[in-house]
Structure 1
Amino acid sequence: MTLPESPAPSLHTLPSGLKVLLAPDPLAQTVAMGYFVQTGARDELKGEMGASHFLEHLMFKGNGQVGGAELNARLDALGGHANAFTSDEATVYHAASLPERAPELLAALSVLLEPALRPDDIETERGVILEEIAMYADQPESRVFDALRSAYWGEHPLGHSVLGTVQTVSALTPETLRRNFLARYGTSAVTLVATGQLDVPELLAQAARISADWPRTVHLRRPQPQQAASALHTLPDDSLSRLHVAVCTPGLAVDHPLREAAAVLSEIVGGENGRLYWALLDTGLADSADLSHAEYQETGVFEGGFSCDPERAAQVLGVYRGVLNSLQQDGVSEAEVRRAARKLAVSTLLRSETPQGQLFGLGMEYLALGRVVTVEEAVQRVADVTVQDVAALLALRPFDVQVTVALGQTTALQTLSV
């Protein structure tokens, strides 16, 4: 795939230790910025699960000079579309606006990284988060995947709940949250990413001034090995009319040379026209079925599942498992690999066509790999996946271990083996 060249991103390290990753585009009509922090749910103590997500909420309550209402009004006035998210390994704060408002956007966004952590704000947000936990607890899809993560990961920190539990969130004190912030938000863990129409010298100078007094603490993540064993767990709930099943199998770490092959394989199996679609949805056996690949620092997983009529549970699970097992026995075709690789390459290009779309690709790849990955490289790597690459991945036998959790009317599964 031949791609036109775009301006090369540049990486800078400021005197404060803050890293700044810039991808200027003088033809862009917008500018997007984000603080990408290399910390997430896996970096918490087990008894403090939910602290990272709690801090994400509290960042929008302002700093010592700017209150939460004023901060959010500033972001709204910029048209900033400001938002944030917390995952297992990252926390991201992002916004977009017009190029002429870039200095104001950076100033407002940077207030998020200087949280006041006021006790009153903490109590208010505690109630908000407990309501969020309760909301997801009412959703069968969330319940079954929470149970799957617990069953697959066990005591591994990647099994931590991003939201936390009612017990852990209720117990988080202002002192605990401040300790978590100071320990895990040092400038060495933070990267400012900006894309679009940028004044590079002005942005760097402003970022240097803003971050001059930020914490310099260093948080070291300790990768841990993990080895799962096949299991089938049933969670009976006769109030549900559909059976919800989630499946997890071993995958690849983010820096594995077959990483892109895992993405292509997931598309072949769980994409809109993947094998699971034709085996389960087109036949009317299930109303949903999917598979995706999630990658982490030292490991990864294939995650997926389906929902169906409880009476068909055993049949549908057998078909789902059969699709996975047939891949290891019979492999995939050249045509399947070409279609999936092309679709993923085009999707990557489409996301990068706006500064905000490019922001996430640059930022998340830098956090994951510790180096700058251009759009051209990301597209080319997936476009270059071959049928031999997918065969090499399947030779690792990722689907030999399958951890399965079923939620709902599970009687039809009670006698099945793992």
Structure 2
Amino acid sequence: MFLETTLPNGLKIIGEHNPEALSVAMGFLARAGSRDEPLELNGVSHFLEHMLFKGSETLSAQQINHQFDALGANYNAFTSEEVTVYHAAVLKEHAPDLQHLLTELLKPAFRKEDFEMEKNVILEEIQMYQDDPISRLFDAAREQFWGSHPLGRNVLGSLESVGNLQVEAMQQHFHAFYAPNNLIFAVTGAFDWNQVVSQLAQETAEWTPSQVERAHPDFQPVFSEKRLKEKQLNRTSMALMAPGLAATNPNRIAMNVLVEVLGGDNSRLHWALVHPGLADEASLSHVDGDGIGYLEGFLSASPRKAKKALEVFHQVLQEARSQGITETELARARNKLALQSALRFETPYNRLFHLGLEFLYTERYLSTEEAVQAILNVTLPEVQALLDQGMFERFSLTLQGP
């Protein structure tokens, strides 16, 4: 059963009730990510995610974490380019206590000493990712492909932007983007809907709405080649990027099935590149987002085989457009993705993410059965229409290696 209401302060509450469940999952979704940051504040959304676990005016960081543990909660948070999510799951009898604790997270104290301590943690995290070759590759690839578009910014920020960040600027960003009308509270599993709504209404009564607008600047993809010469590596890695489909595009599910055929496990790219030993990795994926999406390819090969591997990568995609894909390939990809969705969405905790993110992007409710059926309903003409659009013909290319 799907439930929905909006509090007077603009906070949207959505729920999927399953009285047979033994657990309940809930969380806040903020429509705030790295694409919403001014360049000088790059990384503030991810930093904020850390700071919300550092305590409120009434609870310290240690008390918050101990209370989560006392409930036996599975809990965490994540930040992306477009959304920050605070989520947890407990046995159903602990639902009111978990809800209170999650709401308390969104009342951060912003203590100066906590801010400076956590800044050092994040600076270390940035350096750790800079030591990882694949992270360096995709940071460079996204920056090149997106150009000045805010989606090209690193979610973690840079050593400079995070190092210069002041707590006052973070507080201003928090109040601007964590307004109740820019949040969704989602709950799945076994819960009392009236209790959820009344408790949230009481505990967020002082939250005030504000004008929150996400910028959607024009985007012109940069189709060019960039080389990262790193002599210490013994592999050539390649990141390829191209425009894709937005989360609200009716063809996005067909696109997901298509890229599974082309670049998933046991795909055309696998059999053309990995199976014969031309590459040790070859993949293609699709990411849909707010008003825009993108294709992301990856190749890893020995330096002497890299050029040939890249040629075969493009050849596989060109042949798919000119010759199409078979009904057998389509059925295999549909069945695989449908099963993955069924397995992933059957528990309240996993349903939380699908319910919340689907609603955040599309303002639609999609049950597990509907999500699975939508995949199984994808047809060959739908997939061919995507191939005919020429979306797989031009890619931005970033190479890394000796």
Q: 1:208 aligns with which of 201, 207, 221?
A: 201
Secondary structure of the residue aligned to 2:58 is coil
User: Matched residues, percent identical?
Assistant: 42
| Rounded Cα–Cα distance in structure 1 between residues aligned with 2:116 and 2:253 | 43
Query: In the alignment, residue 195 of structure 1 is paired with which amino acid?
Result: T
1:26 paired residue number: 19
| Rounded Cα–Cα distance in structure 2 between residues aligned with 1:24 and 1:210 | 22
Within 5 Å, which residues of 2 pair with 1:249-260?
A: 249-260=242-253
| Rounded Cα–Cα distance in structure 2 between residues aligned with 1:393 and 1:289 | 21
Secondary structure of the residue aligned to 1:306 is strand
Secondary structure of the residue aligned to 1:405 is strand
Offset at residue 400 of structure 1 (A): 2.3
| Rounded Cα–Cα distance in structure 1 between residues aligned with 2:190 and 2:32 | 29
> Do structure 1's residue 341 and structure 2's residue 340 form an aligned pair?
no
Query: In the alignment, residue 282 of structure 1 is paired with which amino acid?
Result: H
Answer whether contact 2:144 2:222 (CA < 8 A) is retained.
no
> So what's the TM-score if we normalise by structure 1?
0.94
1:61 paired residue number: 54
CA displacement 1:195-228 (0-9 Å, x = unmatched): 1111111111111111111241231012122121
| Rounded Cα–Cα distance in structure 2 between residues aligned with 1:72 and 1:98 | 17
2:356 paired residue number: 363
Answer whether contact 1:49 1:161 (CA < 8 A) is retained.
yes
> Do structure 1's residue 326 and structure 2's residue 306 form an aligned pair?
no
Within 5 Å, which residues of 2 pair with 1:157-196?
A: 157-196=150-189
1:385 paired residue number: 378
| Rounded Cα–Cα distance in structure 2 between residues aligned with 1:215 and 1:84 | 23
Two-structure CA RMSD over aligned residues (Å):
1.1
Point out where structure 1 has 5 or more consecutive residues left out of the alignment.
1-7, 410-418
2:69 paired residue number: 76
2:91 paired residue number: 98
| Rounded Cα–Cα distance in structure 1 between residues aligned with 2:11 and 2:89 | 20
Answer whether contact 2:346 2:368 (CA < 8 A) is retained.
no
| Rounded Cα–Cα distance in structure 2 between residues aligned with 1:77 and 1:42 | 36
Offset at residue 376 of structure 1 (A): 2.4
Point out where structure 2 has 5 or more consecutive residues left out of the alignment.
none
CA displacement 1:241-282 (0-9 Å, x = unmatched): 111111111111111121111100111112111111111111
Answer whether contact 2:146 2:222 (CA < 8 A) is retained.
no
Within 5 Å, which residues of 2 pair with 1:149-298?
A: 149-298=142-291
Offset at residue 325 of structure 1 (A): 2.0
Offset at residue 30 of structure 1 (A): 0.8
Which range is displaced more, 190-199 or 377-386?
377-386
Answer whether contact 2:223 2:394 (CA < 8 A) is retained.
yes
> So what's the TM-score if we normalise by structure 2?
0.98
Offset at residue 371 of structure 1 (A): 2.4
| Rounded Cα–Cα distance in structure 2 between residues aligned with 1:16 and 1:249 | 40
| Rounded Cα–Cα distance in structure 2 between residues aligned with 1:51 and 1:215 | 22
Offset at residue 333 of structure 1 (A): 1.2
Secondary structure of the residue aligned to 1:212 is coil
| Rounded Cα–Cα distance in structure 1 between residues aligned with 2:318 and 2:125 | 37
| Rounded Cα–Cα distance in structure 2 between residues aligned with 1:152 and 1:373 | 32
Secondary structure of the residue aligned to 1:286 is coil
| Rounded Cα–Cα distance in structure 2 between residues aligned with 1:293 and 1:340 | 14
Offset at residue 375 of structure 1 (A): 2.0
Answer whether contact 2:223 2:395 (CA < 8 A) is retained.
yes
Offset at residue 314 of structure 1 (A): 0.6
| Rounded Cα–Cα distance in structure 2 between residues aligned with 1:370 and 1:44 | 24
Query: In the alignment, residue 380 of structure 1 is paired with which amino acid?
Result: Q
CA displacement 1:142-173 (0-9 Å, x = unmatched): 11011110010000011111000011111110
